[in-house]
Amino acid sequence: MAIAAVRDAAVARPAVTLARRNARSSSASSRRFSGGRRPPGLFASSLAPSPRSGRSPCSAAASDGRRMPSSPSGEYPAELRDLHVRRMVEAFDPGVPLPQAFTPPSSWYRDPSFHNLEFERVFLRGWQAVGYVEQIQNPHEYFTGRLGDVHFVVCRDAEGRLRAFHNVCRHHASLLARGTGRKLCFVCPYHGWTYGLDGALLKATRVSGIQNFSVDDFGLIPLNVATWGPFVLVNMDEDSPAQVEAEWLGSCSEILRSGLDSSLKHVCRREYAIECNWKVFCDNYLDGGYHVPYAHAGLASGLDLDSYTTSVFERVSIQESRIASTGGDDLGRLGSKALYAFVYPNFMINRYGPWMDTNLVVPEGARRCRVIFDYFLDAALKDDDAFIEKSLEESETVQMEDVDLCEGVQKGLESPAYCSGRYAPGVEQAMHHFHCLLHESLTRP
């Protein structure tokens, strides 16, 4: 049964135009980014592109032609920090054709000030996948998460309405909920302030004598939340558009909807802490299978790499490969085709045979990320322990191979011997598309 796109309008907010949303987001971002006033037009849409000469961005990243230094702490005077980040952004030119293009400079993967800008311009705008529907299937169920400095909680209230809030007590800022589970209300572990699952403040302890205080003014701060198929999405921008599917998936939504199955059951979650920038993991995923025959011998034997294709859409890229026939039971286990979908900026959907797994890449600093794998399986096989164990072992092998690759790449990016590389035009279209989308996000007002 093909899934249908499901939308929950979780937080009621007045509709506003996209232009107004962008203007407000830009103003707030400017204040947060520099701690003061940003020079006018620093990241305006009229930002002049770097010369399309086919030169390495190393020469554009610093006026003297050398690799531009980064501050280990990311602490520059405001005017120098702005100039420093602008040069890094301008060092990549999305207008250069793929065969002539250089990859972004290594500073994109190691500089703390660039990482801060990414959070402002990428992760605090737009819809972000944060979980799956089974986690909040019933009233009173909840789960928590974090994106940068934003801690959030997603829940179903007593009426079954989907909600999301900043996971912060309004009294003295303690984190309110932890992990996942079921609750009738959220009780702050610090001073016992109690909130309903609709966000309302139900009890403020020991506040007799307080003046100019109303419980109506101290409810939890809401976030926009929605679902698409089996996935839960959150948007940190209070003026986000209501068209979740159009913004998140664009024109490929029909392709993904027909390729997924709503009856798949969640099997388990695994998390990997990786010593690399979040984009290193994404780049590895988006190289069109380039690294598979060299780094994943077991996986390579199961894929018909000659059939590997890549399709690029507005904010999504899809890689597909037929499964190699080995004469064993692989066809029944893996199906006839594998599909790997990347949803900008950091979410992957992998569909093969009776399995689907998703990968959510969560930045945890300029040089570290956490990757959350959720595994889903055809309901008919959910009790086949031997099959599940074997499949997860094979997946674990691939993941650990990728961890080694990504951490090795990060070490190379730290080296003064490397600034920028090139794309393999026949296979790395999706990677280039990702970098262009990132550049667009960073330069949008």
Check which CATH number belongs to the domain holding 296 and give it: 3.90.380.10
Higher local confidence (pLDDT), 25 or 212: 212
Query: Using an 8 Å Cβ cutoff, are 57 and 423 in contact?
Result: no
Same domain for 159 and 228, yes or no, is: yes
Pairwise CA distance, residues 39 & 267, whole Å: 50
Check which CATH number belongs to the domain holding 232 and give it: 2.102.10.10
Pairwise CA distance, residues 378 & 352, whole Å: 11
How confident is the model at residue 172, as a pLDDT? 96
Average of per-residue pLDDT values in the chain: 83
Same domain for 320 and 409, yes or no, is: yes
Beta carbons within 10 angstroms of residue 219's beta carbon: 16
Beta carbons within 10 angstroms of residue 295's beta carbon: 15
Distances from the Cα of 418 to the Cαs of 50, 57, 68, 402, 408, in angstroms? 20, 11, 12, 21, 13
At residue 400, does pLDDT exceed 50? Answer: yes
DSSP string, 252-320: GHHHHHHH-BTT-EEEEEEEEEESS-HHHHHHHHTSTTTTHHHH-HHHHHHEEEEEEEEEE-SSEEEEE
Same domain for 95 and 218, yes or no, is: no
Q: Choose the final residue of a domain: 94, 125, 156.
A: 125
φ/ψ of 259, rounded to 5, equals -90, -10
Pairwise CA distance, residues 51 & 60, whole Å: 9
- Bridge-based pairing of strands 337-343 and 316-323 is antiparallel
Dihedral over alpha carbons 327, 256, 371, 295 (to 10 degrees): 40
Q: How far is CA 419 from the centre of its chain?
A: 25
Query: Can you list the positions of beta strands (E) in 313-368?
Result: 316-323, 337-343, 347-352, 355-363
Pairwise CA distance, residues 173 & 320, whole Å: 46
How confident is the model at residue 213, as a pLDDT? 94
User: Is position 139 within any domain?
Assistant: yes
Same domain for 273 and 336, yes or no, is: yes
pLDDT digits (tens, 9 = 90+) for 368-379: 999 999 999 999
pLDDT band at 55 (very low <50, low <70, confident <90, very high): low
Same domain for 183 and 281, yes or no, is: no
Pairwise CA distance, residues 97 & 94, whole Å: 8
Same domain for 303 and 217, yes or no, is: no
pLDDT band at 238 (very low <50, low <70, confident <90, very high): confident
Query: Which structural domain, as residue segments, surrounds residue 198?
Result: 129-236
Distances from the Cα of 75 to the Cαs of 34, 82, 365, in angstroms? 11, 11, 14
Residue 417: in which H helix or E strand, if any?
none
What does the radius of gyration of the chain's CA atoms come to, in whole angstroms?
Answer: 23
Q: Choose the final residue of a domain: 189, 206, 236.
A: 236
Picking from 198-212, 227-241, 382-396, 409-423, which range would have the lowest pLDDT averaged per residue?
Answer: 227-241
Which token pair is 119?
Answer: 């959070």
User: Is position 442 within any domain?
Assistant: no
- Bridge-based pairing of strands 141-147 and 127-132 is unpaired
Over range 176-189, report the average pLDDT: 97
In total, how many domains does the chain have? Answer: 3
Distances from the Cα of 420 to the Cαs of 270, 338, 416, in angstroms? 32, 31, 11
Pairwise CA distance, residues 291 & 340, whole Å: 15
Picking from 8-17, 204-213, 337-346, 431-440, which range would have the lowest pLDDT averaged per residue?
Answer: 8-17
pLDDT digits (tens, 9 = 90+) for 251-302: 988 888 877 777 899 999 999 999 999 999 999 999 999 898 888 888 877 8
User: Is position 3 within any domain?
Assistant: no
The tally of CA atoms less than 13 A away on the side-chain side of residue 435 is 32
Angle, helices 429-443/78-90, rounded to nearest 10 degrees: 150
Q: Choose the final residue of a domain: 106, 125, 144.
A: 125
Same domain for 259 and 385, yes or no, is: yes
Could you tell me what percent of the chain has a pLDDT over 70?
Answer: 79
How confident is the model at residue 118, as a pLDDT? 95
Over range 50-67, report the average pLDDT: 51
Over range 347-351, report the average pLDDT: 95
Interior angle at CA 346, CA 343 and CA 349, nearest 5: 50
Same domain for 93 and 211, yes or no, is: no
Query: What length is written for the chain?
Result: 445
Question: What three-state secondary structure class fits 82?
Answer: helix
Same domain for 87 and 148, yes or no, is: no
pLDDT band at 303 (very low <50, low <70, confident <90, very high): confident
Same domain for 84 and 108, yes or no, is: yes
Query: Using an 8 Å Cβ cutoff, are 68 and 61 in contact?
Result: yes
Pairwise CA distance, residues 164 & 356, whole Å: 26
User: Is position 350 within any domain?
Assistant: yes
User: Is position 2 within any domain?
Assistant: no
User: Is position 8 within any domain?
Assistant: no
Same domain for 184 and 61, yes or no, is: no
pLDDT band at 23 (very low <50, low <70, confident <90, very high): very low
User: Is position 245 within any domain?
Assistant: no
How confident is the model at residue 29, as a pLDDT? 37
Query: Using an 8 Å Cβ cutoff, are 289 and 319 in contact?
Result: yes
Pairwise CA distance, residues 302 & 323, whole Å: 6
Distances from the Cα of 257 to the Cαs of 254, 266, 275, in angstroms? 5, 18, 34
User: Is position 376 within any domain?
Assistant: yes
Same domain for 254 and 398, yes or no, is: yes
pLDDT band at 14 (very low <50, low <70, confident <90, very high): very low
Query: Using an 8 Å Cβ cutoff, are 309 and 289 in contact?
Result: no
Over range 301-305, report the average pLDDT: 82
